[in-house]
Amino acid sequence: MGLGRWFSRKLKELQLRKEREAEGTSRSATTSPSRSSGHHQPRPFTFRELAAATNDFKQQFLIGAGGFGSVYKGRSRKNGLLMAIKQLNRQGLQGQQEFLVEVLMLSLLQHPNIIRMYGYCDDGVQRLIVYEYMPMGSLEDHLYVKSDIYSFGVLLLELLTGREAMDIDPNQREESIVEWVRKKLRFCTILDIADRKLRENFKLPDLSKAMTLAFSCVQDDPDSRPSTGTLLQTMESLASDPVGGAPLWRSLRRGSDASSSGGAGELLNPNTSRRQRPYSR
């Protein structure tokens, strides 16, 4: 109930901010938000402001398109800030409250390796979300080889455990997050090492699937890591459909190799109370 009240309060704050902007009392930010400044509130943009930034959404500024909408590169006429502006399809528009809920959840995602959301536009039938512009494109464009899969797995482990990629162990020795996870899996289940806040707020099958995916990406043997296709498919299923309780390890197994070698498939079965040593050196 406490979480529900907090969420309702945050939603009302966004609604009040939109009303103030419509009345002309809101003032736009003049500089790009700093990544070191912590959590920030998304600012409202007017449709006219975003249309000017993209020269009326000209085709030459289109940098991506998908089922949910189109993304344009834009530059603020006020301060020169480069932005990626996602214009949602009108045919699939959510109601105002659902749209603001989505904006709120996006604004809470704070991580150095996740693009920042600058704000949103809810102007009549127009629904747009404004992100920082990344000249090198999305991570999906660069995930080609198995070493990239490993690095992506480290990032996922950071997000899911709440730990840094490198930390100091009790003996004052530098320890990577992968080493830390391997140690923990000798005695713990994969859900035990997930961030407590995630365990409290997300369905455990979903969390188990995400944790399993992350750990499979950092296997020592590159051939044991999932392909980019498997990675993308799994992440898309996490983003859209709820997990029906089936552990991910079955879908990641590679025939008899996984079951005979004691690899990630057997190791990460969430129904196992104890874990084997992750790797035999």
Annotated binding site for ATP: 86
Q: Are 250 and 242 in contact (CB under 8 A)?
A: no
Place of tokens 């996490």: 238
Q: Are 75 and 83 in contact (CB under 8 A)?
A: yes
* E-assigned strand segments in the chain: 43-44, 62-65, 69-75, 82-88, 117-123, 126-132, 166-168, 174-176
Distance between CA 244 and CA 254 in Å, rounded? 22
Strand bridging mode 117-123 / 82-88: unpaired
Residue type, 3: L
Q: Which residues of 166-181 are buried (b: 16+ CB within 10 A; e: fewer)?
A: eeeeeeeeeebbbebb
Distance between CA 233 and CA 32 in Å, rounded? 34
Could you tell me how far CA 47 lies from the centroid of its own chain?
A: 26
Distance between CA 128 and CA 190 in Å, rounded? 38
Q: Are 127 and 103 in contact (CB under 8 A)?
A: no
**Angle between helical axes of 177-184 and 146-161 (0-180°, round to 10):** 70
The number of residues making up the chain comes to 281
Q: Biggest alpha carbon distance in the chain?
A: 67
Residue type, 90: R
Annotated binding-site residue numbers:
86
